[in-house]
Amino acid sequence: MNVAPAGLWRLIFVLVYVSVFSLLLPSAVRAQDTAPADPAPGGVVDPSTSLARPATPARPIRDVSPTLLPLNFLHDQQYLLLFPRELAEGRYWAPTITVAAATVGLLSADPHVQPYFAHTTAFRGFDRVFSSRITGLETIAVPAAFYAIGFQRHDSYMQKTALFSVEAIADTEVVRAAMNSLTKRWRPQDVFNRRSYSDTFFHSVSHVGSSFPSGHTIVAVAVATVIARRYRTHRWVPWAAYGFAGAIGLSRITLRAHFPSDVVLGTVLGYAIARYEVLQNQ
C-alpha cells in the first residue's frame, strides 16, 4: 500500500494519539475505589468509594505532601509512558477503537462548526472576561489560594487538595506539550483567511504551543476534578468547579484559540488524568 508522506504522518499521529488516549478507560478499570488516605471534611466517606474489586489488584493509596509530590509525578509519568505496552499485549482494544472513532467524528465536525465563531461578535463581552491571560492566571491562582488558606488554618486536607491540583497540572502539561509537539495543529486564528479548516495538522511552527489539545482546558478541568472530587460532600462545589472549567473551555472556542475538538479532548484528558491517575483511590 502506497501512502503519501502527509498521509503517513497522519497515520502515525492517529496511532500514537490512540495509544496515549486509550489510557482513559483502562485507568478507570484499574483504579481501586478504597478509602481515601485522609477523610473528606466532616469525616464523611462516600459509600461508592469503599467497594473493593477483588478481581483487580489494588493500586497503592495515594497521599501527597511537598516532599512526596515529585515522586508522585514521576510515578504518574511512568504509568502514562508505559501504557501503550498494554495494547501490545492485546488488552483494551475495545475502548481504544471507541475513542478513536469518536475523535475522528469530532475532527470531521471542526470545519463546519468553527467558521461561525470566526464571523460572530456575540461573545465579545464574554471573551473580555475570559481572556487567555486572565483564565491562565486564575487556574494557577486557585491551587495557590487553597494552599495559602489551608496553611493559615492548619487545614491539611485543603493543603493536600492544592498539592494534588499541582500534580494534576504537571501531569496534564506533559501530555499536552507532547501532543502539541506531535500534531502541530494550527489554531483557528492562524487558519482564518489562509486556507481550509480541513487541513490544519502538521503546519504550526510552534512545537509545544499548537492547538491540539487545548492547554487551558486540560489544566482547568484537571484542577476542577481534583477540587470536585475532594469536596464532593458539598454539593455546590462540583457545580462551581466544573462550571468554571466549562466556561474556560468555551472561551477557547469563542476566542478562536482552539477548535471544538481541541477543547473536548482537553476536557476528557484533564478529567481522566486527575480522576484516575492523580487521585486514584479517592
In a domain, 70, yes or no: yes
The domain spanning residue 231 has which CATH number?
Answer: 1.20.144
Q: Which of 170, 161, 167 is nearest to 142 (CA)?
A: 161
Instruction: Check residue 123 and report its DSSP letter.
Output: T
Q: Which of 253, 245, 239, 203 is nearest to 224 (CA)?
A: 245
Name the band, by pLDDT with cuts 50, 70 and 90, for residue 38.
Answer: low
In a domain, 233, yes or no: yes
In a domain, 181, yes or no: yes
pTM over the 0.85 mark:
no
In a domain, 44, yes or no: no
In a domain, 52, yes or no: no
In a domain, 39, yes or no: no
pLDDT tens-digit map of 110-127: 888 888 888 888 898 998
- Phi, psi at residue 52, to the nearest 5°? -85, 150
Q: How many domains does the chain have?
A: 1
In a domain, 103, yes or no: yes
Please give the share of the chain, as a percent, with pLDDT higher than 90: 36
Q: Which amino acid is at 119?
A: H
* Residue 20 and residue 175 in contact, taking contact as beta carbons nearer than 8 Å: yes
pLDDT tens-digit map of 47-103: 444 333 344 445 566 789 999 999 999 988 888 887 777 777 777 677 677 767 777
- For 155-160, the CB contacts below 8 A with 24+ separation are 156/38, 157/38, 157/40, 157/41, 157/230, 160/38, 160/63, 160/64, 160/65, 160/230
> H-helix or E-strand containing 72?
helix 69-82
Please give the pLDDT value at position 49.
Answer: 43
Q: Is 43 exposed, middle or buried (0-12, 13-18, 19+ CB in 10 A)?
A: exposed
Q: Rounded to whole angstroms, how far apart are CA atoms 190 and 211?
A: 10
The whole-number average pLDDT for the span 199-204 is: 81
Greatest C-alpha distance within the chain: 65
Radius of gyration of the chain (CA): 20
Q: Rounded to whole angstroms, how far apart are CA atoms 177 and 208?
A: 5
What residue numbers bound the domain in which 167 lies? 5-29+64-278
Task: Write out the DSSP string of 149-170.
Answer: HHHHHT-HHHHHHHHHHHHHHH
Q: Which residues contact 196 (CB under 8 A, 6 or more apart)?
A: 111
Residue tagged 498539592 (cell numbers): 163
In a domain, 231, yes or no: yes
Residue 213: cis peptide before it, omega within 30 degrees of 0: yes
